[in-house]
Homo-oligomer: A and B are copies of this chain.
Amino acid sequence: MDQVTGKTTVRQRLVETATRLFYENGYRATGINEVIREAGIAKASFYAHFKTKEDLLVTCLEQRHNQMMAQVQAFIADARSPAERVRRLFVWLGDPQSCGSRGCPYLNMASEFQDAGSRVREVVRWHKCSFRNMLRDILALHFMGKSKTTEQVEQAAEELYLLLEGALAASPVHCCSWPVETALRIAEDRFQLGG
Protein backbone atom coordinates (compact mmCIF):
# COMPACT_ATOMS: atom_id res chain seq x y z
CA MET A 1 0.00 0.00 0.00
CA ASP A 2 1.19 3.43 -0.86
CA GLN A 3 1.07 5.23 2.48
CA VAL A 4 -0.01 8.51 0.93
CA THR A 5 -2.57 7.66 -1.71
CA GLY A 6 -3.76 4.42 -0.16
CA LYS A 7 -3.49 2.65 -3.49
CA THR A 8 -1.45 -0.47 -4.04
CA THR A 9 1.26 0.35 -6.52
CA VAL A 10 1.63 -1.53 -9.77
CA ARG A 11 4.88 -3.05 -8.63
CA GLN A 12 3.40 -4.26 -5.39
CA ARG A 13 0.39 -5.80 -7.10
CA LEU A 14 2.75 -7.69 -9.38
CA VAL A 15 4.83 -8.96 -6.48
CA GLU A 16 1.84 -10.09 -4.47
CA THR A 17 0.16 -11.79 -7.40
CA ALA A 18 3.34 -13.52 -8.44
CA THR A 19 4.18 -14.59 -4.90
CA ARG A 20 0.84 -16.33 -4.71
CA LEU A 21 0.96 -17.90 -8.17
CA PHE A 22 4.58 -19.05 -7.92
CA TYR A 23 3.74 -20.70 -4.63
CA GLU A 24 0.51 -22.29 -5.81
CA ASN A 25 1.64 -23.51 -9.23
CA GLY A 26 5.42 -23.32 -9.31
CA TYR A 27 7.73 -20.95 -11.15
CA ARG A 28 7.81 -22.41 -14.62
CA ALA A 29 4.16 -23.43 -14.56
CA THR A 30 3.26 -19.80 -13.94
CA GLY A 31 3.43 -17.64 -17.05
CA ILE A 32 4.01 -13.94 -17.14
CA ASN A 33 0.68 -13.70 -18.91
CA GLU A 34 -1.09 -15.24 -15.94
CA VAL A 35 0.65 -12.89 -13.53
CA ILE A 36 -0.19 -9.73 -15.42
CA ARG A 37 -3.75 -10.83 -16.13
CA GLU A 38 -4.46 -11.49 -12.47
CA ALA A 39 -2.68 -8.30 -11.45
CA GLY A 40 -4.51 -6.33 -14.13
CA ILE A 41 -1.30 -4.86 -15.51
CA ALA A 42 -0.08 -4.49 -19.10
CA LYS A 43 2.82 -6.65 -20.13
CA ALA A 44 5.12 -3.80 -20.99
CA SER A 45 4.43 -2.25 -17.60
CA PHE A 46 5.63 -5.43 -16.02
CA TYR A 47 8.90 -5.21 -17.89
CA ALA A 48 9.24 -1.57 -16.88
CA HIS A 49 9.39 -2.78 -13.28
CA PHE A 50 11.30 -6.03 -13.59
CA LYS A 51 14.05 -6.90 -15.98
CA THR A 52 13.08 -10.56 -16.23
CA LYS A 53 10.68 -13.09 -14.78
CA GLU A 54 13.50 -14.40 -12.60
CA ASP A 55 14.03 -10.90 -11.24
CA LEU A 56 10.40 -10.86 -10.23
CA LEU A 57 10.84 -14.15 -8.40
CA VAL A 58 13.90 -12.90 -6.54
CA THR A 59 11.99 -9.81 -5.47
CA CYS A 60 9.06 -11.95 -4.34
CA LEU A 61 11.30 -14.18 -2.25
CA GLU A 62 13.10 -11.27 -0.65
CA GLN A 63 9.88 -9.52 0.22
CA ARG A 64 8.25 -12.68 1.50
CA HIS A 65 11.26 -13.26 3.72
CA ASN A 66 10.78 -9.95 5.47
CA GLN A 67 7.06 -10.45 5.92
CA MET A 68 7.50 -13.97 7.15
CA MET A 69 10.17 -13.07 9.67
CA ALA A 70 7.98 -10.28 10.99
CA GLN A 71 5.00 -12.61 11.16
CA VAL A 72 6.76 -15.35 13.01
CA GLN A 73 8.32 -12.90 15.42
CA ALA A 74 4.89 -11.44 16.11
CA PHE A 75 3.43 -14.90 16.52
CA ILE A 76 5.91 -15.93 19.23
CA ALA A 77 6.34 -12.51 20.79
CA ASP A 78 3.91 -12.79 23.68
CA ALA A 79 5.19 -16.13 24.91
CA ARG A 80 6.20 -16.19 28.57
CA SER A 81 9.51 -17.97 28.11
CA PRO A 82 12.05 -18.82 25.43
CA ALA A 83 10.93 -22.42 25.75
CA GLU A 84 7.38 -21.49 24.94
CA ARG A 85 8.62 -19.38 22.05
CA VAL A 86 10.24 -22.46 20.57
CA ARG A 87 7.07 -24.49 21.07
CA ARG A 88 5.07 -21.78 19.33
CA LEU A 89 7.38 -22.01 16.34
CA PHE A 90 5.96 -25.47 15.74
CA VAL A 91 2.42 -24.23 16.19
CA TRP A 92 3.07 -21.54 13.64
CA LEU A 93 4.62 -24.07 11.30
CA GLY A 94 1.63 -26.37 11.55
CA ASP A 95 -0.91 -23.68 10.85
CA PRO A 96 -1.72 -23.58 7.13
CA GLN A 97 -3.06 -20.08 7.63
CA SER A 98 0.32 -18.69 8.55
CA CYS A 99 2.68 -20.91 6.72
CA GLY A 100 0.92 -22.34 3.69
CA SER A 101 0.14 -25.98 3.08
CA ARG A 102 2.28 -26.47 0.00
CA GLY A 103 5.57 -26.74 1.77
CA CYS A 104 8.33 -24.21 2.03
CA PRO A 105 8.19 -21.71 -0.85
CA TYR A 106 11.95 -21.39 -0.76
CA LEU A 107 12.64 -25.09 -1.02
CA ASN A 108 10.02 -25.34 -3.75
CA MET A 109 11.66 -22.62 -5.79
CA ALA A 110 15.13 -24.02 -5.19
CA SER A 111 14.02 -27.28 -6.74
CA GLU A 112 13.36 -25.42 -10.00
CA PHE A 113 16.74 -23.69 -9.93
CA GLN A 114 19.30 -26.42 -9.64
CA ASP A 115 22.06 -24.33 -11.13
CA ALA A 116 24.50 -23.92 -8.27
CA GLY A 117 25.25 -20.25 -8.83
CA SER A 118 21.67 -19.17 -9.46
CA ARG A 119 20.49 -16.01 -7.76
CA VAL A 120 17.39 -17.83 -6.61
CA ARG A 121 19.44 -20.41 -4.76
CA GLU A 122 21.40 -17.58 -3.15
CA VAL A 123 18.23 -15.99 -1.85
CA VAL A 124 17.04 -19.34 -0.55
CA ARG A 125 20.31 -19.94 1.26
CA TRP A 126 20.25 -16.45 2.70
CA HIS A 127 16.69 -16.94 3.90
CA LYS A 128 17.45 -20.25 5.56
CA CYS A 129 20.57 -18.93 7.29
CA SER A 130 18.64 -15.95 8.49
CA PHE A 131 15.98 -18.22 9.92
CA ARG A 132 18.55 -20.41 11.64
CA ASN A 133 20.13 -17.32 13.20
CA MET A 134 16.77 -16.39 14.63
CA LEU A 135 16.52 -19.84 16.17
CA ARG A 136 19.99 -19.47 17.66
CA ASP A 137 19.02 -16.18 19.31
CA ILE A 138 15.94 -17.74 20.86
CA LEU A 139 17.86 -20.78 22.09
CA ALA A 140 20.62 -18.56 23.48
CA LEU A 141 18.06 -17.03 25.81
CA HIS A 142 16.63 -20.42 26.65
CA PHE A 143 20.02 -21.83 27.62
CA MET A 144 21.14 -18.74 29.49
CA GLY A 145 22.54 -19.63 32.87
CA LYS A 146 22.74 -23.29 31.96
CA SER A 147 26.47 -23.17 31.27
CA LYS A 148 26.39 -23.86 27.54
CA THR A 149 29.22 -22.83 25.26
CA THR A 150 28.56 -20.73 22.19
CA GLU A 151 29.28 -23.78 20.12
CA GLN A 152 26.73 -25.84 21.99
CA VAL A 153 24.12 -23.19 21.36
CA GLU A 154 25.01 -23.16 17.69
CA GLN A 155 24.64 -26.89 17.52
CA ALA A 156 21.28 -26.75 19.23
CA ALA A 157 20.18 -24.15 16.69
CA GLU A 158 21.17 -26.41 13.86
CA GLU A 159 19.29 -29.25 15.44
CA LEU A 160 16.17 -27.19 15.89
CA TYR A 161 16.49 -25.87 12.38
CA LEU A 162 16.78 -29.39 11.06
CA LEU A 163 13.72 -30.54 12.95
CA LEU A 164 11.66 -27.65 11.61
CA GLU A 165 12.96 -28.29 8.11
CA GLY A 166 12.02 -31.93 8.35
CA ALA A 167 8.52 -31.06 9.47
CA LEU A 168 8.20 -28.46 6.74
CA ALA A 169 9.28 -30.93 4.07
CA ALA A 170 7.19 -33.84 5.29
CA SER A 171 3.94 -32.02 6.00
CA PRO A 172 2.77 -31.32 2.45
CA VAL A 173 3.61 -34.86 1.36
CA HIS A 174 1.47 -36.53 4.00
CA CYS A 175 -1.07 -33.77 4.39
CA CYS A 176 -1.45 -34.24 8.09
CA SER A 177 -0.09 -33.00 11.36
CA TRP A 178 2.11 -35.81 12.60
CA PRO A 179 5.32 -34.42 11.10
CA VAL A 180 5.00 -31.22 13.09
CA GLU A 181 3.99 -33.11 16.23
CA THR A 182 6.84 -35.53 15.84
CA ALA A 183 9.39 -32.77 15.37
CA LEU A 184 8.01 -30.92 18.38
CA ARG A 185 8.23 -34.06 20.51
CA ILE A 186 11.89 -34.50 19.66
CA ALA A 187 12.60 -30.85 20.32
CA GLU A 188 10.82 -30.86 23.68
CA ASP A 189 12.84 -33.79 24.95
CA ARG A 190 16.14 -32.60 23.52
CA PHE A 191 15.98 -28.99 24.66
CA GLN A 192 13.94 -29.50 27.85
CA LEU A 193 11.16 -27.27 26.66
CA GLY A 194 8.58 -29.14 28.66
CA GLY A 195 6.08 -27.23 30.76
Contact = CB atoms under 8 A, between A and B. Distances in A.
Contacts of A190: 186, 189-190
A170 interface: yes
A165 B159 contact: no
Given A111-B103, A182-B158, A186-B159, A168 B170 contact: no
Interface residues of A, number: 46
Interface of A: 24-26, 28-29, 102-104, 106-108, 110-112, 114, 116, 121, 124-125, 128-129, 155, 158-159, 161-170, 172-175, 178-179, 182-183, 185-186, 189-190
Contact of A173 (B107, B173, B179, B183): B107
A46 B134 CA distance: 50
Contacts of A165: 166, 169-170, 179
